[in-house]
C-alpha cells in the first residue's frame, strides 16, 4: 500500500458531480469512489464495511483505490459520524503485511479519530497455517469524525460479582491507593461489553452468495451502537449485503455499493425477498 498522490490531487482524479438525492435504500453496482464521490458532503451517519484484505481473495478481479475511498468517506461522513472499518492482513514471506494498521493511520491523517481499535474474534479459521498460532481475529477500527454523536453502548456482559457490593480501592497516579469512590454500591447484573467481540463466523454460511461475508451479528451490533433509527448507513464494499440487511432490519436507511454485478444481483434479490416478507 503505497501513497503516491496527495488528497488534493486525488480529489481532482475523482471529480465530484454531486447528486441532490442520495440513493437511499438501494444497492448500487459500481466502483465505490465513483458512486460515493457523487454523494453530498456530510450526508452519511454511519459506515460499516470491510474492504478486500490485501490480495487474499479476488472477488472477480475488480480493483479498488484505498486512498480514494478513504478520502470520500472523510468527505461524506457527518460531523460526529462513524466509520467501522473491519480488516485483517495477509501473511507474506512469513510476516504480516501491516496493511490494516497503515490504513487506520491514514484515516487518522485525514482527520478521523481512532476512537476504538476493536477486535472481532472468530470461531472458524479461514487460512490455517501450521507455522504459527492460528489467526482468529480481525480489526474493527471505529473511526469517528470528532466525538461519535451516537453511542448506544451494549451492556450485556454478565458481571461475575453480581449480587455483591463494590469493595476495595482505586489506585492514584503516584501508585498509592485510596478507598474506592463506589465502595458499597451494589454491583449491576450486566456491564458494558468489552471491546473484543466474539461471533460465530460460520453461522450465516449458505445464506449468502459470497466467499467472505461477515457475521450478521457483527454488523447488527455496530449499527445498533453507532446509529439511531432513521440514520443513513453506508457500506461501500457491500458484498452479499450483510450491512444493508441489518440496517434495514434495525429501521435505518441504507446504501450499499458493490462492484461485482453477481453479488449485487443476489443481495438485491435477498433484499426484495425480505421486503416481501416484512
Which parts of this chain interact with ligand SAM (CB under 6 A)? 31-32, 50-52, 59, 62, 64, 210, 212-214, 237, 239-240, 242, 257-260, 263
Orientation angle between helical segments 66-76 and 99-110, nearest 10 degrees? 40
Three-class SS state of 135: coil
109 contacts 118 by C-beta, under 8 angstroms: no
Shortest distance in whole angstroms from residue 184 CB to ligand SAM: 47
Q: Which is nearer to ligand SAM, 57 or 188 (CB)?
A: 57
Q: Which is nearer to ligand SAM, 48 or 232 (CB)?
A: 48
Q: Which is nearer to ligand SAM, 77 or 140 (CB)?
A: 140
CA distance 149 to 15: 30
Shortest distance in whole angstroms from residue 189 CB to ligand SAM: 33
C-alpha cell at 256: 450499499
Q: Which is nearer to ligand SAM, 187 or 249 (CB)?
A: 249
Q: How far is CA 20 from the centre of its chain?
A: 26
Shortest distance in whole angstroms from residue 207 CB to ligand SAM: 10
Determine which helix (DSSP H) or strand (DSSP E) holds 61, and give its type and residue range.
Answer: none
Q: Which is nearer to ligand SAM, 53 or 115 (CB)?
A: 53
Q: What's the Cα-to-Cα distance from 160 to each of 186, 191, 192, 193, rounded to whole Å?
A: 13, 10, 13, 13
Going by C-alpha positions, the residue among 68, 133, 141, 156 that lies closest to residue 102 is: 141
CA distance 76 to 83: 11
Bridge partners of 119? 139, 196
Shortest distance in whole angstroms from residue 29 CB to ligand SAM: 9
Q: Which is nearer to ligand SAM, 33 or 77 (CB)?
A: 33
Shortest distance in whole angstroms from residue 195 CB to ligand SAM: 20
CA distance 40 to 18: 6
By Cβ distance, which residue is nearest to ligand SAM? 239
Reading phi first (left if > 0) and then psi (alpha if -120 to 50, else beta), residue 135 is in: beta
Shortest distance in whole angstroms from residue 122 CB to ligand SAM: 13
Q: Which is nearer to ligand SAM, 112 or 237 (CB)?
A: 237
35 contacts 16 by C-beta, under 8 angstroms: no
Q: How far is CA 254 from the centre of its chain?
A: 14
Shortest distance in whole angstroms from residue 119 CB to ligand SAM: 17
Amino acid at each position: 500500500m503505497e501513497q503516491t498522490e496527495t488528497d488534493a490531487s486525488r480529489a481532482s482524479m475523482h471529480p465530484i458531480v454531486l447528486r441532490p438525492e442520495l440513493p437511499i435504500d438501494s444497492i448500487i453496482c459500481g466502483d465505490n469512489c465513483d458512486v460515493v464521490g457523487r454523494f453530498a458532503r456530510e450526508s452519511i451517519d454511519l459506515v460499516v464495511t470491510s474492504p478486500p484484505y490485501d490480495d487474499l481473495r479476488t472477488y472477480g478481479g475488480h480493483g479498488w483505490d484505498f486512498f480514494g475511498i478513504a478520502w470520500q468517506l472523510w468527505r461524506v461522513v457527518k460531523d460526529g459520524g462513524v466509520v467501522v472499518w473491519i480488516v485483517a492482513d495477509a501473511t507474506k514471506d512469513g510476516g504480516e503485511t501491516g496493511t490494516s494498521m497503515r490504513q487506520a493511520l491514514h484515516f487518522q491523517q485525514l482527520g478521523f479519530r481512532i476512537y476504538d481499535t476493536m477486535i472481532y474474534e472468530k470461531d472458524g479459521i479461514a487460512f490455517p497455517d501450521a507455522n504459527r498460532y492460528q489467526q482468529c481475529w480481525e480489526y474493527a477500527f471505529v473511526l469517528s469524525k470528532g466525538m461519535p454523536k451516537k453511542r448506544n453502548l451494549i451492556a450485556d456482559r454478565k458481571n461475575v460479582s453480581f449480587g455483591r457490593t463494590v469493595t476495595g480501592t482505586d489506585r492514584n497516579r503516584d501508585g498509592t491507593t485510596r478507598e474506592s469512590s463506589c465502595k458499597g454500591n451494589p454491583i449491576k447484573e450486566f456491564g458494558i461489553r468489552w471491546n473484543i467481540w466474539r461471533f460465530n463466523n460460520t453461522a450465516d454460511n449458505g445464506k449468502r452468495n459470497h466467499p467472505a461475508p461477515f457475521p450478521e451479528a457483527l454488523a447488527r451490533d455496530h449499527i445498533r451502537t453507532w446509529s439511531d433509527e432513521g440514520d443513513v448507513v453506508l457500506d461501500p464494499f457491500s458484498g452479499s449485503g450483510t450491512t444493508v440487511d441489518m440496517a434495514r432490519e434495525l429501521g435505518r436507511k441504507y446504501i450499499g455499493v458493490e462492484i461485482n454485478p453477481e453479488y449485487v444481483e443476489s443481495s438485491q434479490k435477498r433484499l426484495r425477498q425480505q421486503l416481501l416478507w416484512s
